[in-house]
């Protein structure tokens, strides 16, 4: 009798909690290589718990329950399941407690058919053939003012007069300006994070997730995200999603109700990361320094995930796979790459590339020095840790470009630093997969870095769109948007014309000043030219040692040769082109891409101060 009573009490508990549980991943697919998944079952009602030694049964032989884990937090279950290789799309009933299935104690779990076009219409990868445009959704364009404020969300600070408050930009705003982006020559878009950030303040930037499986409703939610990606794919555009594995926001549901005691990196008192990437490869580093770098929190509002906890690791990897399949994205940009557990990152990268071989993965490596940066990517070193990450955000090339534009020519200074940085490409397995850029959401706008010097700015654009790697552009750079990253909000201002009632609209020629239109047209000309320039997209690079501030390099293949000459000096320079004879074979002249001017080869050129010529060589 006692056992029977306990059974009915357990059954009543199941009926009570069945209405408030959530399952992650929310669904899966048939025909996936990754067919062994781990479900997280979370009881959101804090007054309810799962009975001890709870059994779980599946209604389908295609969905085999392998093991049920019950962590110390009784509001969670972890269920290991295996999906049959021959499984068909279906809804599986998971019965909690081993009783007969009913609405009160059953979870419906869907196995969906996979989307078509893997590697061709999604998961295509973003490569050196592309021109990638980075958008902070909250600051680009407001296409749907109805979602500016959502009832029940914690951040009610909404004002375009503040650099820290939400401004109302959304995914519909991006959709509304796809024509503009294609006119500019864009072929791929990278969005700063779009996942739910239900944080009480400064939630606009998106880097403190509170729910991995929900697109922020203030951006338009899942519906708007799918609509955007579908429209992009129809146009031949690609989507890159911003991944954050290292941390989440303090309001995340699994932070507020942690499944295990070691779900986060815990310290006796708050401990920040040191941001010192060197200790990860320093042969003389102390263990304590290594631990602080890897396990310290990025900032107090972003708890650090313990990726050595297998449940955490599985959750993050499955979410990455789920996202590619659910939304059809083409690539991952990985935030704060060096702060993650690096063995976990190798495992995550492998899972993604095994399932989606053409997918692009590139990680943020805000470090100093080519050895530092190359440690986190496929490299040619014979060392204990070998990263399998295909590409990185090439901060070293950026530092070289900054020196070229802001420092006088010297043995290691000025444009010599840019030359030297690229001369060290021998350390990378494939430097063409590195992402090159002038600025982003964390850095001072490059137009401000060069003191709003139009000649230097155009020279920098010319380098970006002709050098090796994947060129990344930050929204508004094409109209010379300004701002210094101190504080960072000044580099995240609204794109003029993106909001109803804006006094000017920079999305159209009539709204741009002559200088802004000059920058736009210069960028547009080069970005669209490179679409059909095989030498720039996939060709080889040959560079010549800079002389007196003049840097010359060639991009070439069997079909085309493009010559780039940059004069970073403050005065006109005479360039004797006989020095470049080894690349002139079969050519007699060159056509400057942006002006159409013809330059004869094998002669002396007068190159204007702060000038750049980009020449397609001709017979």
Q: How far apart are CA 388 and CA 344, in angstroms?
A: 11
In this prediction, residue 19 carries a pLDDT of: 65
Query: Which pLDDT score is estimated for 20?
Result: 86
What digits encode the pLDDT tens for the residues 345-388?
999 999 999 999 999 999 999 999 999 999 999 999 999 999 99
Q: What is the pLDDT of residue 18?
A: 54
Pick one of 3.40.250.10, 2.60.40.10, 2.120.10.70, 3.30.465.10 as the CATH number of 2-112.
2.60.40.10
Per-residue pLDDT at 62 exceeds 70: yes
Q: Phi first, then psi: give them for residue 529, nearest 5 degrees.
A: -65, -45
pLDDT of residue 99: 41
Other beta carbons within 10 Å of 74: 14
Q: How far are the Cα atoms of 320, 423, 465, 599 from residue 584, in angstroms, in the given order?
A: 48, 22, 22, 13
SS3 state of residue 96: strand
Q: Is the pLDDT of residue 598 over 70?
A: yes
Domain-wise residue ranges, the chain? 2-112, 132-248+298-531, 537-618
Helices (H), 276-435: 287-295, 310-327, 342-355, 370-374, 395-406, 415-423
Q: What tens digit of pLDDT does each residue of 399-430 get?
A: 999 999 999 999 999 999 999 999 999 999 99
* Closest among 466, 493, 409, 499 to 148, alpha carbons compared: 499
Whether the per-residue pLDDT at 98 is higher than 80: the answer is no
What is the dihedral sign for C-alpha 209, 214, 220, 225? positive
42 and 257 in contact (C-beta within 8 Å)? yes
State what percent of residues in the chain have pLDDT above 70. Answer: 96
Task: Identify the band that residue 334 occupies on the pLDDT scale cut at 50, 70 and 90.
Answer: very high
Domains 2-112 and 132-248+298-531 belong to one CATH topology: no
Given the DSSP bridges, would you call strands 211-215 and 195-196 parallel, antiparallel or unpaired?
Answer: antiparallel
- What are the CA-CA distances from residue 19 to residues 39, 108, 264, 385, 522 (Å)? 17, 12, 28, 46, 58
Residue 150 has pLDDT above 50, yes or no: yes
Q: Which of 170, 325, 330, 335 is flagged as catalytic? A: 335
Strands 331-334 and 238-243: parallel
pLDDT bin (cut points 50, 70, 90) of residue 97 is: confident
For the chain, the maximum distance between any two Cα atoms, rounded to a whole number of angstroms, is 104
Of the candidates 555, 513, 526, 551, the residue with the CA atom closest to the CA atom of residue 538? 555
Q: What is the pLDDT of residue 102?
A: 42
Residue 517: what pLDDT? 98
Q: Is residue 119 pLDDT above 90, yes or no?
A: yes
| Domain 132-248+298-531 belongs in CATH node 3.30.1370.160 | no
pLDDT for 57: 95
State the catalytic residue, choosing from 325, 341, 364, 425.
364
pLDDT of 3 strictly over 60: no
Q: Is 251 a catalytic residue?
A: no
Assign a CATH topology to domain 537-618: Immunoglobulin-like (2.60.40)
User: Is 494 assigned a catalytic role?
Assistant: no
Per-residue confidence at 220, pLDDT binned at 50, 70, 90? very high
More confident residue, 18 or 583: 583
Least confident of 49-58, 182-191, 256-265, 441-450: 49-58
Question: According to the model, what pLDDT value does residue 16 have?
Answer: 47
Per-residue pLDDT averaged across 558-574, rounded?
A: 98
Among 188, 136, 154, smallest CA distance to 439 is for 136
Q: What is the pLDDT of residues 161-212, one digit of tens each?
A: 999 999 999 999 999 999 999 999 999 999 999 999 999 999 999 999 999 9
pLDDT at 167: 97
Residue 104 pLDDT: 46
- For the chain, the average pLDDT equals 95
Distances, alpha carbon 97 to alpha carbons 58, 91, 100, in Å: 11, 19, 9
Per-residue pLDDT tens digits for 500-535? 999 999 999 999 999 999 999 999 999 999 999 999
Upstream peptide bond of 221 is cis (omega within 30 degrees of 0): no
Q: How many Å apart are CA 504 and CA 141, to the nearest integer? A: 13
């Amino acid at each position: 009798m006692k056992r029977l009573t306990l059974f009915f009490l357990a059954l009543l508990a199941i009926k009570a909690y069945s209405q408030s549980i959530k399952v992650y991943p929310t669904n899966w697919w048939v025909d996936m290589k990754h067919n062994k998944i781990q479900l997280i079952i979370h009881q959101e009602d804090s007054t309810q718990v799962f009975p001890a030694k709870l059994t779980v049964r599946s209604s389908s032989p295609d969905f085999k329950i392998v093991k049920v884990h019950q962590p110390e937090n009784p509001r969670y279950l972890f269920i290991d399941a295996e999906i049959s290789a021959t499984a068909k799309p279906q809804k599986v009933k998971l019965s909690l407690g081993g009783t007969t299935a009913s609405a009160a104690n059953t979870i419906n779990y869907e196995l969906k058919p996979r989307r078509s076009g893997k590697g061709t219409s999604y998961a295509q990868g973003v490569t050196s053939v592309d021109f990638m445009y980075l958008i902070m959704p909250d600051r680009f364009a407001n296409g749907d003012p109805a979602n500016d404020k959502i009832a029940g969300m914690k951040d009610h600070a909404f004002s375009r007069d503040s650099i820290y408050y939400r401004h109302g930009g959304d995914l519909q705003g991006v959709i509304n300006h796809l024509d503009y982006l294609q006119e500019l020559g864009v072929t791929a878009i990278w969005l700063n994070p779009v996942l739910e950030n239900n944080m009480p303040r400064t939630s606009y930037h998106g880097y403190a997730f509170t729910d991995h499986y929900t697109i922020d409703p203030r951006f338009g939610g899942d519906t708007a995200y799918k609509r955007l990606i579908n429209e992009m794919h129809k146009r031949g555009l690609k989507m890159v999603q911003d991944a954050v594995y290292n941390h989440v926001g303090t309001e995340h549901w699994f932070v507020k109700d942690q499944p295990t005691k070691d779900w986060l990196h815990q310290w006796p008192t708050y401990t920040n990361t040191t941001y010192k990437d060197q200790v990860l490869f320093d042969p003389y580093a102390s263990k304590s320094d290594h631990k602080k770098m890897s396990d310290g929190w990025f900032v107090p509002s972003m708890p650090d995930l313990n990726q050595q906890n297998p449940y955490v690791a599985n959750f993050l990897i499955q979410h990455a796979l789920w996202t590619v399949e659910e939304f059809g994205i083409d690539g991952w940009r990985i935030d704060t790459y060096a702060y993650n557990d690096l063995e976990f990152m190798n495992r995550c990268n492998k899972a993604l590339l095994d399932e989606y071989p053409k997918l692009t993965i590139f990680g943020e490596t805000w470090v100093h020095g080519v050895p530092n940066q190359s440690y986190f990517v496929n490299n040619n070193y014979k060392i204990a840790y070998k990263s399998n990450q295909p590409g990185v955000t090439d901060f070293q090339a950026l530092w070289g470009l900054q020196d070229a534009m802001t420092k006088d020519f010297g043995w290691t200074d000025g444009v010599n630093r840019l030359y030297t940085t690229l001369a060290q490409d021998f350390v990378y397995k494939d430097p063409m997969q590195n992402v090159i850029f002038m600025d982003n959401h964390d850095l001072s706008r490059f137009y401000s870095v060069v003191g709003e010097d139009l000649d230097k700015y155009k020279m920098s654009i010319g380098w970006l769109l002709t050098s090796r790697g994947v060129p990344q552009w930050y929204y508004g750079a094409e109209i010379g948007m300004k701002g210094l990253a101190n504080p960072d909000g000044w580099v995240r201002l609204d794109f003029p014309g993106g909001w109803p009632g804006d006094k000017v609209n920079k999305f159209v020629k009539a709204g741009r000043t002559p200088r802004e239109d000059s920058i736009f047209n210069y960028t547009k000309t080069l970005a669209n030219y490179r679409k059909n320039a095989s030498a720039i997209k996939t060709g080889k690079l040959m560079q010549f040692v800079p002389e007196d501030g003049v840097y010359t390099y060639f991009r070439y293949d069997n079909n085309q040769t493009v010559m780039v000459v940059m004069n970073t000096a403050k005065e006109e320079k005479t360039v004797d082109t006989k020095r470049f004879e080894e690349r002139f074979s079969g050519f007699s002249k060159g056509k400057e891409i942006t002006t159409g001017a013809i330059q004869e080869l094998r002669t002396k050129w007068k190159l204007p101060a702060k000038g750049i010529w980009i020449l397609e060589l001709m017979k």
